[in-house]
A and B are shown apart, each in its own frame.
Chain A
Amino acid sequence: MSDLFTQIILDEAKNPAHYGTLTGDHLKTAKYNPSCGDMIQIALRIDDQKQILADLKWTGQGCSISMAAMSLLSQEIIGKPITQILQLTHQEMLGFLDLESIAPGRLKCMMIGLTAVQNLLSENQKK
């Protein structure tokens, strides 16, 4: 527990990667964590031919865990196949954050970004 605020997490939360908005055609979504007030807005573009995530930008407000998790996630998934992104779980998220485990109360913080991205991608697949 005492090691939750690692340097990686503090740095990523302070200077998040791919933070911002996309211009031109793109898909977007917003996800709230109603118990703590975290909010993440995702904008992404899919390369339909290659079936990969071509680009992603995000903005949000929340705790250091949710911000760092989204920042690290964005660095991992841009350019990756959609099917692969849809298969990511909290295990991979722990890996991105370089944590062995996370308290149940912080799981939602860690997962808010991934859940938003996956929801958006799977909704798009249904279309």
Chain B
Amino acid sequence: MSYKQDFPIFTTYPQLAYLDNSATTQKPQVVLDAMNNYYATSCANVHRGVHLLSDLSTTAFDQSKGKIATFFGAKNHELIITRNATEALNGIAYGWASHNLQADDVILVSLMEHHANIVPWQELSKRNHTKLIFINLTADGQIDLADFEDKLSTFKEKIKLVSLIHVSNTLGTLNPIGEIVTLIKKHKINCRIAIDGAQSAPHLKINFSKMGVDFYAFSGHKMLGPMGVGGLLVKEELLQSEEMKPWLFGGGMIESVYQDQTIFNSDLSERFVAGTPDVASVVGLAAACDYLDNIGMDKIESHERQLTTYALQELSKIPEIKIIGPLDPEKRLSSVAFIYDGVHAHDVAQVLNQDEVAVRSGHHCTMPLHLSCGWVATVRASFSVYSTTEDIDKLILALKKVKTIFK
């Protein structure tokens, strides 16, 4: 199975082994065409004019947004379009947490969180004096469920939000969200649950209606869509409640504006979108969802599991390499990060670049994780639908050169 012919980047660079998909994915021609076509045939502002193009643009936007929501098993109005998962997580902080959390209330996150699921809560604590508590990890990089239960019983009703990454962008760990939701219920904690889905949306079938969580954040550009568009899924009852309020204000999100006050739009799909949305990117992301759906998310997951298993097996044959995160391929998804003994991650990546193997090096926006584990930086190879075992073979071959340069 190779889908590379659908992605023009591989026509430009036929030998490229692109293994930096956790950072961003390449875009298929159908996504580029959909965006071009929108600008060529339907460009006008949405929800404003009565002229033909305005109608076409509004229809394109609404249909695309509906398609993206359906892709995630959510209702159309449960999807708030954002720039990316980071902006979506900030939306939870500004639109929900700011209004509902008070001094000494607790937000639980894990030590493997991306900075996007740490910094907004640190900033919130400056405003609302909330506490940010980290759940420990096991030695092989999984959420320590015993420690999680300890923290549930320690902080009890003070816990107002549990916010966790679904798939770790560094460790590759696939976190057991179902089990975590069950534990929260078992301890009778009445908190909201947020999931950072930036690294799960591209690889797993997501059914928001059955996840048992209140928020799910994702980035379009990591799932074959354009950069600059993502989303925050919010449970309908929460959107309708007074708990969740708009956090961006201006045109579009209003019902009526007077000199001294404003009534917000009662239409939930418009209430949280201020200003002109990036319509072309929403159209592009909907085309990406179609592309993924046509292949089938189950098939994509199993393809990427095979690649992950193969990568783990081949990397573990190189004595200088220490793989981080769970070694059991069932416990992880779509990426493998590692440390090369005695050679800095940047230097490893530079050597690989010489052979047209693109990987990420650094601390992948998980500095607390790296600090707690004592890693300076790690190298990460990550996969997407178009990745092949040949890409991994090229990686392994290029890795063998590291030793010859850094003797």
Contact = CB atoms under 8 A, between A and B. Distances in A.
Q: Is the interface of B mostly helix, strand, loop or mixed?
A: helix
Nearest to A9: B347
Contacts of B361: 36
A36 B377 contact: yes
B367 A5 contact: no
Interface residues of B, number: 18
B405 A37 contact: no
A64 B347 contact: yes
Interface string B319-346: 0000000000000000000000000111
Interface in A37-52: 37-39
Interface in A42-74: 61-65
A2 B354 contact: yes
Interface residues of A, number: 18
A34 interface: yes
A120 B353 CA distance: 35
Contact of B363 (A2, A37, A64): A37
A109 B362 CA distance: 12
Contact of A65 (B346, B362, B377): B346
Given A10-B406, A35-B362, A37-B376, A63 B354 contact: no
A1 B347 contact: no
Contact of B354 (A1, A35, A62, A64): A1
Nearest to B378: A37
Interface centre among A34, A36, A63 (most CB of B within 10 A): A63
B29 interface: no
A65 B346 CA distance: 9
Contact of B347 (A5, A37, A61): A5
Given A10-B405, A10-B406, A34-B367, A62 B350 contact: no
Contacts of B362: 35-37
Contact of A37 (B350, B353, B354, B370): B370
B376 A62 contact: yes
Contacts of B375: 37
20 contacts: A1-B354, A5-B347, A10-B405, A34-B367, A35-B363, A36-B346, A37-B345, A37-B362, A37-B363, A37-B370, A37-B376, A38-B376, A61-B344, A61-B376, A62-B344, A62-B346, A63-B347, A63-B377, A65-B347, A109-B346
Interface of A: 1-2, 4-5, 10, 34-39, 61-65, 106, 109
Interface of B: 344-347, 350-351, 353-354, 361-363, 367, 370, 375-377, 405-406
